[in-house]
Structure 1
Amino acid sequence: MATAGRRALIAFMCVATLVVASGCGPDPESETHEECASLLGVQGRVVIGMHSDQPGLNFQQTDSTRGGFDYDLAQWLGSYCGLNVVEQNLGTTQREGELQDEDGADIVIGSYSITDERKEDISFAGPYMKTKQGVMVRSDSGIESAADLAGKKVCAARSSTSWSQMNENLAGIVAVQEEGFGVCTQKLLDGTVDAVSTDQLLLYGYAEEFGSLRVLPDEQFGNAELYGIGIDHGDAELCAFLNDAILEALISGWWVQTFENNFPDYLDPADFKPDDGDLTECPDQDAEP
């Protein structure tokens, strides 16, 4: 009999149309399906907090269509569990609050870096992605390295790990903080700031979406950012369920195929794929929040 994680993977691959087989979709009567629905959903739906302004991860076009790696993951969870996905758009500063609010998002999938500080208030499953920090500029700016940023306005999102790492690693800059990296990117396009600094994966997505921007190829700094799925503090059962599915996705072809579907083909998926040993230890179910 397939494990919960392997059944999750089969559903994952079906929704992503990576395999074709009869009976491939999740069975609404299955024990695993019911378990997943009970862990994630209320009254037939799951509210998933997510960004809408991050090309490659989760980006909403002007015609309201969406796409990206995070979006694909969110849609799979809804399909697998037989739940309607309610997309709750969030800014970077709103993620913890949404998870702590009884009326807020059930989970958050939104380039959400796992940190010890955040784990004091919420818990994580994962990681399902990793990246380091970089710099994006306008293609015609003449900026070629971090040294050229001295005295320049560099933007990062408020309350993000990128904000602190930017200030620690880029000397002499004029630091500008905004509510999100979509806002920073628009300011870069408008010429209001000279550069944006955040996770390289995000920057490559923006540069692909907006052809007038480019990522500085030789500038990489800071700690590895490990993206996890934000969940309620201390929910060990949901953490273990999601970790099982993520592990199977990492060791199968699903993860690489989904990455290649959403990011430029000049990126090597291996540079952004976590090791299975990176999976976070799930919290003690009896731990105090």
Structure 2
Amino acid sequence: MTRRRASGTSIRRLLTAAAVLLAICASTTACFRFPAPESPPPVAFGVNPTPPGAESQVAREPVPNSQNCDATVSLRPGPLPPPNRMPRGSTMAEIQERGRLIVGLDIGSNLFSFRDPISGDIQGFDVDIARAVARGIFGNPATIEFRVLSSADRTQALVDGSVDIVVKTMSITCDRLQEVSFSTPYYVAYQRILSTRNSGVNGPAGLANKRVCAARGTTSIGRLQAIAPRVRMVTTTTWADCLVLMQQGQADAVSTDDAILAGLAEQDPWVQLVGPSLGAEFYGVGIPRGRDDMVRFVNGVLDRLRLTGEWQQMYNRWLSILGPGTGPPQPVYRD
């Protein structure tokens, strides 16, 4: 096959046509033009779609009370029975007969309980605690059913018996002990502040008139309102929703426990932990009130995790971003 070269006449015609087109473009608006990109307008709360359930009008809440009742003191465990041989008539025997342990948690607390985007499995430090309890009853950590709860729903789920236990970064407080029981603490966190790098928030003194997000039903709200009375609280259903609000410019900061905030910071390089600790939070396994045998059993499981070094392995796997840590909290028993 032969190729035909363009003749000199054809090239001259093309050049002439191009010159005419340029002349028309210079004198009219006949040519297509791409508009210059516009700068985004300032974002106010409610302009961008907000996560379902987000609220910007938040009433003042009481400061969490964990000191007037020795909240972290719990029941002494007895010897752990062998798996699948729970004492007759016990809460654990009822769970064994059902064939699964029902655990309340959430899937929006990175590092503690979240859904792995690749495998789809629910994972995290709290999940490993829950699986240890299931292993103690059945000998199999997978004999478990997870029920997703918001922070505000944790106590009610225990009161109405829709879950056997709650393992969801649930702080032990005197107020909550009026309605539910707790294990000994399995983790100690410290409330801090997570802010965007351009927010100007470097600690609690910078929170006046700033929008700070927290999940409803948490002790973080009342404590922060007491420390920074002029803060403008924004509440959501989950901590993941708080991160979304920060990314959309609808919140200037988030305040809760440092371990939860570290999980949010892992997902976005433009946020950072700032300021000192605002107070300690002792996480316990929530258990329905009156189920003292279950409290003792769970405390036995937690004791075993401490003594065997499994607790430290779990910490290294999920929470090493917080540093080497100081080891598991030591239990205090009242009997």
Please give the alpha-carbon distance, in whole angstroms, between the structure 1 residues aligned to 2:291 and 2:145: 21
Report what 2:48 is aligned to: none
2:281 to 225, 230, 238: 225
Alignment of 1:151-166 (within 5 A): 151-166=209-224
Structure 1 distance, partners of 2:171, 2:219, is: 8
Q: Which of 119, 125, 141 lines up with 1:69 in the alignment?
A: 125
2:165 is the counterpart of 1:107:
yes
Shift of 1:236: 1.1
The DSSP-based 3-state class of the residue aligned with 2:191 is strand
Quick one: structure 1 residues 85 and 232, their matched pair in 2 at CA, closer, same or farther if it must change by over 3 Å? same
Q: 1:183 aligns with which of 241, 249, 255?
A: 241
**Aligned positions, number:** 255
Gaps of 5+ in 2: 1-76
> What amino acid maps onto 2:105 in structure 1?
M
Amino acid of the structure 2 residue aligned with 1:245: V
Alpha-carbon distance, 1:252 to partner: 3.9
Unaligned runs of 5+ in 1: 9-25, 283-289
Supply the distance in 1 between the matched residues of 2:305 and 2:110 (Cα, whole angstroms): 22
2:144 maps to 1:85: yes
Equivalent position SS for 1:269: coil
Q: What corresponds to 2:230 in structure 1?
A: 172
2-structure distance, mates of 1:132, 1:155: 17
Q: In structure 2, the residue corresponding to 1:115 is in which secondary structure?
A: coil
TM-score (norm: length of structure 2): 0.69
Over the matched positions of the two proteins, sequence identity in percent amounts to 26
- Report SS of the residue matched to 1:214: strand
SS in 2 for 1:183: helix
Amino acid paired to 2:111: G
2:254 corresponds to which residue? Answer: 196
Q: Which amino acid aligns with 1:60?
A: R
Q: Distance in 2 between matches of 1:106 and 1:201?
A: 25
Q: Residue 208 of structure 1 contacts residue 264 of structure 1 at CA under 8 Å; is this kept in 2?
A: no
Q: Say whether 1:130 aligns with 2:185.
A: no
1:242 equivalenced with 2:322 (yes/no)? no
Measure how far apart 1:171 and its partner are. Answer: 4.0
Q: Which has the higher strand share?
A: 1
The C-alpha deviation readout for 1:158-181, integer Å capped at 9, x for no partner, is 221111001011242212222232
**Which deviates further from its counterpart, 249-258 or 153-162?**
249-258
Q: Which has the higher helix share?
A: 1
The TM-score with structure 1 as length reference comes to 0.79
Question: Which residue of 1 is the match for residue 3 of structure 2?
Answer: none
Task: Quickly say closer, same or farther: Cα 1:6–1:214, change in 2 above 3 A.
Answer: farther
> Judging changes above 3 Å, is the alpha-carbon distance between structure 1 residues 101 and 7 closer, same or farther for their aligned structure 2 residues?
closer
Max Rg structure: 2
- Tell me how far 1:232 sits from its aligned partner: 1.1
Relative to 1, partners in 2 of residues 1:49 and 1:31: Cα closer, same or farther, differing over 3 Å? closer
C-alpha separation between the residues in 1 aligned to 2:298 and 2:266? 30
Q: For the residues of structure 1 that align with 2:154 and 2:87, how far apart are their CA atoms?
A: 28
- 1:67 and 1:231 map into 2 onto residues whose CA distance is 21
What letter matches 1:212 in structure 2? W
Q: Distance in 1 between matches of 2:202 and 2:196?
A: 11
